[in-house]
Chain A
Amino acid sequence: PCPVPGSGWACRAVLADGHQRTVRRVAWSPCGQFLASASFDGTTCVWRRHEHGFEVVATLEGHENEVKSVAWAPSGSLLATCSRDKSVWVWEVDEEEQEFECVSVLSAHSQDVKHVVWHPSQELLASASYDDTVRLYREDEDDWVCCATLEGHTSTVWAVAWERSGQRLVSCSDDRTLRVWQRNEGHGGGSEHSWQCVCTLSGYHGRSIYDVAWCHLTGAVATACGDDAVRVFEEVSPVSQKEQDLEDFPIFPDFSPGLTLHCSASVRSTSVEAEPSLRKSPSVSFSRHMSRMARAVFPVSFRE
């Protein structure tokens, strides 16, 4: 029988023997049958679920030190891990051997890599690092290459999230800003894309931003911040007709403005500073989708 949402949670398994140090990240495979766990002990375990629990099907070794993140590609046949050893590894499932083999070791970053996340539909990988950059990787002939470096943040980039369409991604940083990056179509016949920062949100967060999530249903962006607040950002079309060079953004029909934080974007990069008056607003209203999501996390508040 389907569990009724909100009726409670039961602990089904405690997997205590897989790692020797902090488990930093977990990720379900797209098919739901496998769970990957990344640990400070330098390994990534892949667990398979079966009737009576979970068992380890593979332990991915090779990183020199703490593994910070693990992510499954949408196809389910590739896994990415990243570590303080500055590298990003791509692993492939070997169907025959039921094993994972290292397909590429990418040492493009110059510092600790904090987060890796796959494009929602393509085999394109993004990584965020202590070296203040986001890098993108794709397969090229028989190896993986870093195909773009997104520079702009002035401190550690903690996390990255893709928009549902995969045309944009958002990064959050120790520098207290969010940056939205957009892919430009390449010139000529090449498959190379270039990426541009189309929006910088600064002045909203009081401390480092540790995590960001881009909702694939509603397009809203939520952030986790060291100033104890969760913030939610949405895009709106401009109220004022005076703004030029603006592109259309998808708007949900039942979205009611209430308090919204402008993210105006243009082909040229823009910075947005929160106006002082907006920072003090006591009330926030959300669309139907939004409020369900908001209830599921924590109450949103804005610091004075």
Chain B
Amino acid sequence: MAARFSGVLQLTDLDDFIAPSQECIKPVKVDKKPGKAAAKIRIEADGSYFQVNQDGEAQKLEKAKITLNDCLACSGCITSAESVLVSQQSHGELCKVLALNKAAAAHEQKLVVVSVSPQSRASLAARCKLGLLETAQKLTTFLKGLGKCVHHVFDTTFSRNFSLLESQQEFVRRFQRQAEDKKALPMLASACPGWICYAEKTHGSFIIPHISTTKSPQQVMGSLVKGYFAEQQHLPPDRIYHVTVMPCYDKKLEASRPDFFNQEYQTRDVDCVITTGEVLKLLEQEGVSLSDVDPSPLDTMLGGAAEELSSHRGGGSGGFLEHVFIHAARELFGIHGASIHYRPLKNKDFQEVTLERDGQVLLHFALAYGFRNIQNLVQKLKRGKCPYHYVEVMACPSGCLNGGGQIKLEGESSKEELQQVERLYESLRAEVPEENQAVRELYEHWLGGWGSDRALQVLHTQYHAVERASSALSIKW
């Protein structure tokens, strides 16, 4: 089970079982009255515990409870939570939810929305030997047919526009305050939950100030669906069930973060994440071959059908480096249309890009994919030897197109498969986020304007260092 998360998460203490010597380190908060030292514990016939103090007064003790959210990203025994998590967010669970939803009374039924990532779509297209547009249209039909109660199918390329725009802006702000704020730069990308969980657990408060507060495309979609879209449908957020299709399992952990849980309505921004591979399983389960499915028009959040698909420049992991670079070159140095040349360093997952003028380096950016490169980056940072202003950090070697949840093609080498998926992914027209009309409309009419407080609140998040208490492990030689 543990093997399916990204390499970075795997390394962070995933055990198959809670070994007898390993304790749950999650502190359980119980209201305790300060009292006398000695007390006895009495166990009742029904298994409940009573604390009996010296005067004979008995007080029932609460059972210590750990919720799934407590377990997440805790450095104690994540995998036991992981198996619960995976079963709560698998395609099997999705089918159950959909069946229940179908059978529910009209006023209790939820509107089901599925947001598909472009990486998952490219992987499916490669597997089913279809073009991207066909895949999107046929997938829409298939998903809407599931349990007969999936109502809308969106593309997270749309929400990615917001992530890119916010990241660009955030970088410029950080660059401008780097003199007063030593932790402003380097800015590290935040779209990859494998990287985020690792950073919070392993490097905590040292690294957190460097991580971009911009939400990932998945979570922006969550905010849009449960916020804007819910309002448009005249529904409260908890009457929408939001499913995303993602290229990795780490995204399941991201969806379960407490920061993405709406306390008021007791609902998550993203209720269920299924991987590309799990969609394939669904197709197999239903005995459907995607190529045989009729195409449906593509939904858009603002209504109306989309005529074509679009993408963003900068590779299969979202294009954060390129967008931040080009925007910064323009805003900070007045250089328009800056060209980007990648210089590979130690390995192909570690590459540099610089912006120079008159022999002076103005911007120094890097891509760091995969655990070994993340390691080296963080170590350089700790020693104060990191020369970069911005780093696009991703946990998976070769980026999101190579995520742990993508479909493994048969009969070809994994390198060729990946190249095929990359070719498909890059075949789309790249759009510029600033020029997307729907995005501008949402900023103006729903987010209260560009750079507003509301935009900051809806599109940004925060991180939490995980305290690693030293547990009383028995030494093993």
Q: Residues of A with Cβ closer than 8 Å to B?
A: 22, 24, 40, 61-62, 64-66, 68, 84-85, 87, 97, 101-105, 107, 112, 114, 130, 142-143
Contacts and interface: CB of A to CB of B under 8 A. Distances in A.
Given A64-B11, A142-B348, A101 B376 contact: yes
Contacts of A142: 346-348
27 contacts: A24-B477, A40-B475, A61-B379, A62-B379, A64-B12, A64-B13, A64-B202, A65-B13, A66-B476, A68-B477, A84-B476, A87-B11, A97-B385, A101-B346, A101-B379, A102-B372, A102-B375, A102-B379, A104-B372, A105-B7, A105-B11, A105-B372, A105-B375, A107-B7, A114-B477, A143-B347, A143-B397
A85 B348 contact: no
Contacts of B375: 62, 102, 105
B88 interface: no
A105 B405 CA distance: 21
Contacts of B195: none
Interface of A is mostly: loop
B420 interface: no
A176 to B, nearest CB: 17
Interface of B: 7, 10-13, 202, 346-348, 371-372, 375-376, 379, 385, 397, 475-477
B372 A103 contact: yes
Contacts of A102: 372, 375-376, 379
Contacts of B379: 61-62, 101-102
Given A64-B13, A102-B375, A105-B7, 18 more contacts: A24-B477, A40-B475, A61-B379, A62-B375, A64-B11, A66-B475, A97-B385, A101-B379, A102-B372, A102-B376, A103-B372, A105-B11, A105-B372, A105-B375, A142-B346, A142-B348, A143-B347, A143-B397
Contact of B371 (A40, A101, A105): A105
A66 B375 CA distance: 17
A85 to B, nearest CB: 6
Contacts of A64: 11-13, 202
A47 to B, nearest CB: 18
A85 B11 contact: yes
Nearest to B7: A107
A229 to B, nearest CB: 19
Contacts of A22: 475
Contacts of A143: 347, 397
Contacts of A66: 475-476
A70 B312 CA distance: 45
B345 to A, nearest CB: 10
Contacts of A97: 385
A107 B477 CA distance: 19
A68 B376 CA distance: 21
Contacts of B475: 22, 40, 66
A227 to B, nearest CB: 17
Contacts of A68: 477
A92 to B, nearest CB: 8
A128 B477 CA distance: 13
Contacts of A84: 476
B7 A103 contact: no
A22 B202 CA distance: 21
